[in-house]
Amino acid sequence: MVQLKNKDLYFVSSNPNKFREIEPILRQYGIVSQLIKMSIQEIQSESVHRIAEDKSTYAFKHLLRPVVIEDDGFYISSLNGFPGQYSSFVYKTLGNQGILKLMLNKVNRRAYFLSVIAYNDGHTLKMFSGKTQGMLSKAAAEGGWGFDPIFLPKNTNKTYAELGRLNRKSFYSHRRKSIEKFSKWYITKRLQSGNR
């Protein structure tokens, strides 16, 4: 049984790395959150928005508390958007080296990350997205998680993994962009309802 502490909202994910990235941003906005580790089976959909929406509905029904879900995709231009919404599965099966092999003779190395935040409190379902454009590196850097070692955000020559070691990933992060949009909306909503 999950122990729910008295928090503003609950971030539901099986990936604690995501919570480590978003929790400090939520805290900057005065939003108190708790990670609830829960694996939610993903629906088959071409849309990260639809997947996040479905996961948030499932999580709310189980917790009956305001929840936040983050789903994301990694889209590589010359691979027709692959792995896209299947990024987690592809990372587990191919990994970074597998992606780099697929890209061996590709000239176009453009890629982007898309993050979608879904907030669900049983009455309101809102979605917020953030995108970071960039390129695939030629080799994997040390550190980071997921595809961080092979993604170079636009306007930098360092991968997400390298930026993470310098505490600068958040400056470029697709996840920061979506959680900041959510946080600004949530604070306004809370002020309007008188819940300070």
Six-digit token string for 174? 């697709």
115 residue type, one letter: S
The H-assigned helical ranges of the chain are: 16-28, 48-63, 87-93, 95-102, 160-165, 169-172, 174-193
The active-site residue out of 8, 54, 71, 72 is 71
Q: How far lies 135's CA from each of 80, 93, 110, in Å? A: 14, 22, 4
120 residue type, one letter: N
71 part of the active site: yes
What are the catalytic residues? 71
